[in-house]
Structure 1
Amino acid sequence: MIMKHTNHSTCTTILVGKDASYDGSTIIARNEDAGVAVNPKKFIAVQPADQPRDYQAKLSKFSIKLPAHPVRYTAVPDATDEQGIWGEAGVNVYNVAMSATETITTNPRVLGADPLVKKGLGEEDLLTITLPYIKSARQGVERVGKLLEKYGTYESNGIIFSDVNEIWYLETAGGHHWVAERIPDNAYVIAPNQTGIQEVDFADPDHFMYAPDLKAFVDRHHLNLSANFNFRKIFGSDTQLDHHYNSPRAWYGQRYFNPEAVRDLSPMSAELPFICHANRKITLEDIKFVLSSHYQDTPYDPFTPGNEAKKMPFRPIGFNRNQELSVIQLRPYVPSEFAAIHWLAFAANPSNALVPFFANVNDTPDCYKDTTKLVDSQNAYWVNRLISLIAADHYHDVMADIEAYQDQLMGYGHRRVAHIDKRVGGLSGDQLISALMTANQKTATHALKATRQLLTTLLAKTSNGVRGAFDRTNY
């Protein structure tokens, strides 16, 4: 069973500034979606001794000699590395978080002026070659910007960095150009596989960073068709695919957070804003709902009775090709040694639940770490994948059970975080790290037990009604 990351342009991102979140945390969240339904993932902590020094990509053949002193970090790579690492999301010991990447689009005029680089860097590489070497979100932008300028990229991507104070979103343009915007503290962003950043203020270095020759490059190649420097309009695309595959996801999320702003806009609108302001504080549950959504309460929901998914006009956010969801919360109101929580869910988001793991650890629980390509009912990825398969074919029969499981496990997660905060408050150093690993293991054990119980319930409920069933009492 060989899994290739073809058509890997399917993720959805939500960013929430510290004044927009319910508790003052910076929160970054992204679905990792693959081009196939099954692409097993694992959750690991990477020690400095295990970090490569001479890095070699598997797909693009990009290579680089990495700095000598990496730090420990968490990651959510592929179960096996024959297609590369694909580290995706994590937090390092400095409480800097990174999520890479949100695959985006670039128009042909830009690609003609600055072509993609076949042997450049990409999603396979970015977390591994960046996160162990940065001490702030801004440093993450600076490092990736320099790498892009030197080596180029073979794909267009959005890359996320956060620390307890700031969130930065970097978008590439062509092979070597880029811009990054600091998300305002009181704002949120939904990024759905298309270029998002809009007006760039070159006189505001506190909120924008960019390739040194960006303005000259645009002028030289006559790329700007308006008086303002709108990065999305200059570098992005506005195609039929965008209208059906990308824009509707941002529309639905914005409709959920502040419906008044999109009341007069179509799901296919090219004018949806990048920087948005919700009409309330945003919770983890809000983020999970949107990243699990499939146009509920609209005519576009593929699970509406009588609708067939193949006839639906818009691509949902929560669907079968979700592989993992990482929601990274950096909290300002507890000691920094246990401020970072990596909330994690595997497989399809409509049927999974977030589980909180403290990030300052040397190792992760076996049932989240030891994923293989063989189905294993003792493994968190595979149990959730089996549930998602049943749920897709029996949606209305099983969703009450799934929603009860999700609410119960999320409630447990909040209780665990509060309990662990109190238990480890007086600890430090190795003693703290050990306590957090023990706590994570208990959390994982409970989550896996609840998830396996849900799988058992769904199997029992749906097995009697399969095609070809025969009941002797009818004869």
Structure 2
Amino acid sequence: MKKLMLTMLSVVGMMLFVALPAKACTSYYVGKDCTKDGTTMYGRTEDYSPKKDKVYKVIQPKKVGKNATFKDETGATTFQAPIKVETTYRYTICRDSEGAEDGYFGEFGTNTKGVSMSATTSSSVAKTVGKFDPYIDAYESKVGGITEENLTDYVLCQASSAREGVELLADVIDTVGAGEGDGLFIADQNEVWYFEILTGHNYCAIKMPSDKAAIIPNCFVIGDVDLSDKANVVASPNLVKLAKNNGFYVAAQDGKGDINVKLSYSGKGYAAHNADRIRGGQYLLSGQDNTGIYDADYQDPFFTCKNVTVEKMYELAGYRYEGMNFGRNISYRIGSRRTAEAHIFQINSSMPTELATVQWFSMASPDYSTFVPFYGALLTDVSKAYKTEAQQPNSRAAYWIFRNIGYLCEETNDGDGPNRENYGKGVKQFYKAYMTKMEELQKNVNAQMLNVYKNDKKNLEYYATKLGIAIGNETMDFAKAMYMDIQTCKTNGTKYETSSLSADDIEYDLSMVTAPAKKADDTKPVTPAKSSAPARVQVRAKALKGKKVKVSLKKTAEAKGYEIVYSTNVNFTKKTTKKISTKNLTKTIKKLKKKKTYYIKARAYKLDGKTKVYGRWSLIRKVTIKK
């Protein structure tokens, strides 16, 4: 990885942190026979820097014509290679913001053909190997090799299947070369491939098995391969020849294959920081503590496990080895405050291609963030917060909203300390409940979207996009409310508890989406349980001197008025109701009792004739009166 090392910025009210090395990403894979619902899951944490903001956006198709050339449009590298389609495919991508000085670095995405990709876990071959086929420097050479900066964009803009994506990447390494060593995944509805870029012109890719799982940190792990098995292995033409001619060849350990790739190209054993992550991930998913990983010259990367869920994969992405005893300090955990984003792809092979892959991901560290689901193959746009470009802290950007919660819950470089107990424990408790609820709701959403596919397919992209924007916005509402609650607790010197936020408040189904406008020549579109109520209102509440609270609302489209309710009981068994007009969106509640905690919520309404139609209640705000 050629990213520049970054010094950490100071966030207002926060301490400075020291930058750490970039090579701490962790990839993971779970075959469909190992999951509870029979879906395949794979993904990665990008462990690099808590400052390295990310955006999630849609790259629109572009007509490039015949014999077009892909060029790094950021100018960060000199890489260029052929584009084999005349019009590129639309795709979603999570990558660095536009102003990043070292390029885009696309981390994951899905294109309209249902091809998904996760890149990369950086690695490198043994020093004695690299000199025989060095990397083609993409930052200095006139014509550089492909690197993490370009990988995802280059493949997703033109691959129509996972196999084609593997072959595109293989071809470009054969002809142009690679600028670095990497491990990455390319998948579609039917298969997942793991691809290791070893040297400047050598690589190996294998089709992943359905009955195994794997944890892959920053090291090469592909072992014995049979190069004649073309259905399951794609390798560079000189993979064996280079190793044999230069004295680093190691035969397949099973006596059947042509080469053991790991032992040949990266040597014996695993560095401790990589072995720790393999051990930790295997323990969380299987319950087996693989202490032998430290002593092994080589271990097959695959292991068995059962009943893995999305929630479990979310836990894996933020896992800090809770419940394990390593007997020493750990430098690199799977879950880290340095994580810029984490993701999994959940693939259901029984669904249509457009709906088969659900992209779950979190901005910033999933230790204090949450996975959010999107149908990446169908999106034409995303929530504004997720695509907001902001290299500095910004309350409107999804990355920084989640990152700032992390800062409040951390005190040291490794994230330990009193704040992890005082604030972080409540955050993790809420997001665990959030993920349980979201995974269950996704099953219902899949059924709803399948109904749209069967009865109103021309509007499938519309529903997926509007739903993605809605759940993105709702997730931001929860995160903002949480951040303000923690700030209040910090001011009051109290622990953060989630009593003012409940996973039961999650709304996630097609009732969030207004049916598309009907054209004159249209048949009637499918309208999935649409509500005509106004949108959920956003609320802020601040305690004032004199036993008062100032309540502020954000204007809601179509609202004709608002209703505010407050109570000393979170269940609002005894409550007081106040009305507020659209002309003045603030209300000061007076004559409250000191040393009492008040819970406040609001809703908007519009008129259907003379009847008031109310929207959903806002998230609950909690305010304590001190004086």
Question: Is the structural similarity TM-score above 0.5?
Answer: yes
Q: Is the 8 A contact 2:340 2:364 kept in 1?
A: yes
Cα offsets for 1:434-464 (capped at 9, x unmatched): 1111111221121111111211222222334
Structure 1 residue 333, shift from structure 2 partner: 3.2
Structure 1 residue 37, shift from structure 2 partner: 2.2
Instruction: Provide TM-score, normalisation by structure 2.
Output: 0.68
The equivalent of 1:249 in structure 2 is: 277
Cα offsets for 1:93-122 (capped at 9, x unmatched): 111111111112310121011111112110
Q: Is the 8 A contact 1:194 1:237 kept in 2?
A: no
Inter-CA distance 261–350: structure 2 relative to 1 (3 Å threshold): closer
The equivalent of 2:105 in structure 1 is: 86
Matched, 1:274 2:301: yes
The equivalent of 2:22 in structure 1 is: 8
The equivalent of 2:507 in structure 1 is: none
Structure 2 CA distance for aligned equivalents of residues 25 and 226 of structure 1? 35
- Higher relative contact order at CA 8 Å, sep ≥6: structure 1 or structure 2? 1
Structure 1 residue 230, shift from structure 2 partner: 1.2
The equivalent of 1:157 in structure 2 is: 182
The equivalent of 1:308 in structure 2 is: none
Matched, 1:111 2:139: no
Q: Give aligned-pair identity as a percent.
A: 23
Structure 1 residue 132, shift from structure 2 partner: 1.9
**Structure 1 segment 221-370 matched on structure 2, within 5 A:** 221-226=246-251, 228=253, 229-237=259-267, 242-260=270-288, 262=290, 264-265=291-292, 269-278=296-305, 280-300=306-326, 312-359=329-376, 360-370=378-388
Structure 1 residue 54, shift from structure 2 partner: 4.1
Inter-CA distance 266–190: structure 2 relative to 1 (3 Å threshold): closer
Structure 1 residue 313, shift from structure 2 partner: 3.7
Out of 208, 212, 219, which is 1:194 matched to?
A: 219
Question: Structure 1 residues 43-52 or 140-149, which shifts more?
Answer: 43-52
AA at the equivalent of 1:218: A
**After the TM superposition, which parts of structure 1 deviate over 6 Å for at least 4 consecutive aligned residues?**
none
Structure 1 CA distance for aligned equivalents of residues 276 and 234 of structure 2? 28
Structure 2 CA distance for aligned equivalents of residues 32 and 421 of structure 1? 28
Structure 1 residue 162, shift from structure 2 partner: 1.2
The equivalent of 1:21 in structure 2 is: 35
3-state DSSP of counterpart to 2:224: coil
3-state DSSP of counterpart to 2:215: strand
Structure 1 CA distance for aligned equivalents of residues 252 and 446 of structure 2? 52
The equivalent of 1:378 in structure 2 is: 396
Uncovered stretches (5+) of structure 1, i.e. residues with no partner: 302-310, 467-475
**Structure 1 segment 8-87 matched on structure 2, within 5 A:** 8-34=22-48, 36-49=49-62, 54-56=70-72, 58-67=75-84, 68-81=86-99, 82-87=101-106
Inter-CA distance 188–227: structure 2 relative to 1 (3 Å threshold): closer
Paired residues in the alignment total: 450
Cα offsets for 1:290-345 (capped at 9, x unmatched): 221112123349xxxxxxxxx82441111121011121112123333322211110
Structure 1 residue 273, shift from structure 2 partner: 2.9
Question: Structure 1 residues 62-71 or 91-100, which shifts more?
Answer: 62-71
The equivalent of 1:128 in structure 2 is: 153
The equivalent of 1:457 in structure 2 is: 485
Inter-CA distance 194–24: structure 2 relative to 1 (3 Å threshold): same
Question: Structure 1 residues 77-86 or 361-370, which shifts more?
Answer: 77-86
Q: Is the 8 A contact 1:13 1:190 kept in 2?
A: yes
Question: Structure 1 residues 349-358 or 420-429, which shifts more?
Answer: 420-429
Q: Is the 8 A contact 2:388 2:396 kept in 1?
A: no
3-state DSSP of counterpart to 1:351: coil
Structure 1 residue 415, shift from structure 2 partner: 4.4
Q: Is the 8 A contact 2:61 2:89 kept in 1?
A: yes
Cα offsets for 1:137-178 (capped at 9, x unmatched): 111111111111111112100020111221110111111100
Structure 2 CA distance for aligned equivalents of residues 17 and 294 of structure 1? 23
3-state DSSP of counterpart to 2:128: helix
Structure 1 residue 256, shift from structure 2 partner: 2.1
The equivalent of 1:440 in structure 2 is: 468
Uncovered stretches (5+) of structure 2, i.e. residues with no partner: 7-20, 138-143, 254-258, 412-418, 495-627
The equivalent of 1:473 in structure 2 is: none
Instruction: Provide TM-score, normalisation by structure 1.
Output: 0.88
Structure 1 residue 219, shift from structure 2 partner: 1.3
AA at the equivalent of 1:277: T
Structure with the higher fraction of residues in strand conformation: 2
Q: Is the 8 A contact 2:225 2:252 kept in 1?
A: no
Structure 1 residue 261, shift from structure 2 partner: 6.6
Inter-CA distance 458–294: structure 2 relative to 1 (3 Å threshold): same
Inter-CA distance 293–269: structure 2 relative to 1 (3 Å threshold): farther
Out of 110, 129, 137, which is 2:162 matched to?
A: 137
3-state DSSP of counterpart to 1:324: strand
AA at the equivalent of 2:55: K
Q: Is the 8 A contact 1:197 1:230 kept in 2?
A: yes
The equivalent of 1:95 in structure 2 is: 114
Larger radius of gyration: 2
Q: Is the 8 A contact 2:81 2:176 kept in 1?
A: no
Q: Is the 8 A contact 1:159 1:170 kept in 2?
A: yes
Q: Is the 8 A contact 1:141 1:161 kept in 2?
A: yes
